Amino acid sequence: MLKISAEQSAIFDAQVEADFIHHACRLLRVHAQDDLVHLDDAGLAQFVRDSRTLAAQFGVTGEQGILKWALIRILAGYNFHEIPEVEAFFSRERDADHAVKLLYDRLARLEQQRRS
C-alpha cells in the first residue's frame, strides 16, 4: 500500500501551487499583457496568489474560476468583489465557479462593446 508522509505531501502541495502560479502568470501575460505592464514577475505572482485567496472567499476554487476571477479584477478593478451587487450575485448563485464564469462572460462582452 502506498504511504505518503506529511513531508512528501507538503512538498507535493508546494509544487502544485508553484506550477499553478507559473501557469496562471503565463496565461495572464498572454491575455492581459497591456493591463499588466506595471507588474514585474514577482508582482504578478502575488496578484495571482491574492486573486486565489479572494476567489476562495466567494467559493471559487477551480483553476479556470480563479483565472477568470483574476481577469475580472483586471477588467473591473482589483477590489471589484467589494461592490455590493457582486457580493449579492455570489450569494444567490449555488455554484461559485459557474457564477464567476457568468460574471466574466458578461464583463468580456461589455469590454468588447466598449472597444468597438
Q: For residue 59, what are the domain limits?
A: 6-115
Entry pTM: 0.86
> How confident is the model at residue 116, as a pLDDT?
84
Q: What are the tens digits of pLDDT across the range 72-95?
A: 999 889 899 999 999 899 999 889
Asked if residue 1 belongs to a domain, the reply is no
Number of domains composing the chain: 1
Asked if residue 76 belongs to a domain, the reply is yes
Number of helices and strands (H, E) in the chain? 5, 0
Asked if residue 24 belongs to a domain, the reply is yes
Q: To which residue does cell 449555488 refer? A: 94
**Dihedral, 51, 92, 64, 71 alpha carbons, nearest 10:** -50
State how far the Cα of 69 lies from the Cα of 62, in Å rounded to an integer.
10
Q: What are the tens digits of pLDDT across the range 15-30?
A: 999 999 999 999 999 9
**In the chain, what is the greatest distance between 2 CA atoms, to the nearest angstrom?**
60
Are the CB atoms for 47 and 70 separated by under 8 Å? Answer: yes
Asked if residue 21 belongs to a domain, the reply is yes
Q: What are the tens digits of pLDDT across the range 33-82?
A: 899 999 999 999 999 999 999 999 999 999 999 999 999 999 889 899 99
